[in-house]
Amino acid sequence: MPDTRISELVRIWIDGWVVSRGSSDPIDEPWGWTIDVGQPKHVARHVLPEPSEGDVRKIVAATSAPGTWLKLFAEEQAVLPWVGPGWRCDSPGFLMSCHLVPRQAAFAPSRHPARTLAAPAESPRTSSTRASGRHTESTHRTPLLDGQTLPDAALVPVRPEVPAGYTLTSWTRGGVSRVLVRTRAGHFAARGQVAQVGAHAMVDQVETAVEHRRKGLGGLVMRTLQSTAYEAGARTGLLVGTPEGRALYSSLGWTMRSPMTSLWYEPSEAAQ
């Protein structure tokens, strides 16, 4: 039976992806969506949330343009036998989601004392408080790690601290918020961006320079993007991560929802 939830998540992901990359609107297909990207080595992509052998083989047979990509939400070993010569396999991807909440949350000042509800220090949801007396609360409540809830109106974002020796710059343009981390001398260290569509945010192109890895910069970028998206009204985060990034995202509370196999068409000169 088709996993409609994965299809919904993939649709939310591509809606954010086209904003992040400035691509065309997704075109509905019987098997998913086609997106025109318009780059020399990435002309277009076909996205199949529930790929079947028949659909993949039809797309492959109809493809002659180099730079055509397939994004298949399935294990690599399951779909590779369905494509023929000229198709190259990129690194595995992982569709991940996260319920966005700030790293800390607190009520606005109240005459009643507050009770702390602590979460693990390494979680993006580190601590929360809820008034113990009577208080008028929002009807929409955000779940905490211990099963209790807080109204969204009680949550206030907390920005992560920038490590010594680095600077962080952020800006938003055209629906995309970007974060740039540099050394004090101005050298590139890390980056990332997030595109928001309604209550959903799609994190994209998170990267840390090799010489600056294992210094907490990836976590800094992710927490900043998550806080930025939360402040703008997003409550669900989505991304497709690499094997290298999956451990970081998992440590920040992201959950793997589906594997993704990424292929592109690059026929040999003899075949063209």
Instruction: Report the pLDDT averaged over residues 22-51.
Output: 98
Is the four-CA dihedral 218, 230, 202, 1 of positive or negative sign? Answer: positive
**Whether residue 4 has pLDDT greater than 70:** no
Mean pLDDT of 112-127: 33
Higher pLDDT, 76 or 136: 76
d(CA 101, CA 157) in angstroms, rounded, equals 8
Within 10 Å of residue 153's Cβ, how many Cβ atoms? 15
Q: What is the pTM of this model?
A: 0.79
Q: In terms of residues, how long is the chain?
A: 272
Is-contact 73 260, C-beta < 8 A?
yes
The whole-number pLDDT of residue 159 equals 75
